[in-house]
Structure 1
């Protein structure tokens, strides 16, 4: 996955690099900061640029902490995936107008006579791309053991999902009923049924299929609950004999 991110970022010689090599890993981190992320101060950049220094790892850990890279990422490859994703997010933020220009149809005309709605909801005034918002969401995600995404709005969706599923009044009173148990599904061994020619793309397709199946199961469960409630209303109707009439 990191190779695909680096290729999108136009890292030189990406097809022939070995991410597991320590020197290569250090060189990539420095390149990402110097050319794409550009968030750290000169002192940090100079410390990272000294690839052969025995203090490089200390400087790298400070750099990770500065960017908000989650502590749950333990391997260099996981951290590199996160850093490359962060770099892509920064590149998009800097050239958002350029990218959106090609994504939005130019012949779409704005609607006329659209009312100007004024809202009192303070959430509408939040800057979802600000550093303060990102830091706050990442702190909440860390408490919930969620891996933060470079896009804070995606992290927020994951936080909302966990809270609505695990922190309701019913879930807090009976937590055992909401904790997933059983043997993990062998996703790597599962047969997708089609050959996509790319192992990374195939793995992503498996995940999407599992999510789709989960949505279908949730829909079926809600449909069954609706049928039961309807049957409780319509089954065993009571007859009011007082309304009966004999003769004409």
Structure 2
């Protein structure tokens, strides 16, 4: 994975009665190559979203990279199902008690890339045992469960710290942010070191989605 900035529209913010149309809107937007799919179990987070069948139905015919985020108490029980359904990257959380290192190996063994994620209130050091085993580090910038929440400013220093670790140790993983990402907060995350931006409400409601993507995917450090 390169570090070229990527916007990954979150299908959670799409029209749930017409998810295929929302996926098409993302796919038809210049500059969009990824789509982010949140999977919630009603236990680890207080909401329910999609199952493997929904992912499989969306996968049919789509050429987007499926970035699947498992917000589950026991994600290791569902890896096979979601990769079979079409997940190409699977991100799991560091907080629940389950065999995380083995789960990351399981994802890789099935040909997908893997990521590790923490919530805003989780110490960033909880990521350290997994940094040599992942392709992506996801920092939630809201408490997960529902879309449309406000961005958490206190995550910015965590992005900077993770970016420092990446540079210090020569890691090649991407740094993804998810939650309250709009043009203003996304650019701040980019300046802090993030290169992958999950945008839901801000993307789907923007009057010019291509311009939204172009702005966030511009070269880091450029004059704005």
TM-score tier, shorter chain, comes to under 0.3
Q: Which has the higher strand share?
A: 2
Q: Which TM-score applies when normalising by structure 1? A: 0.22
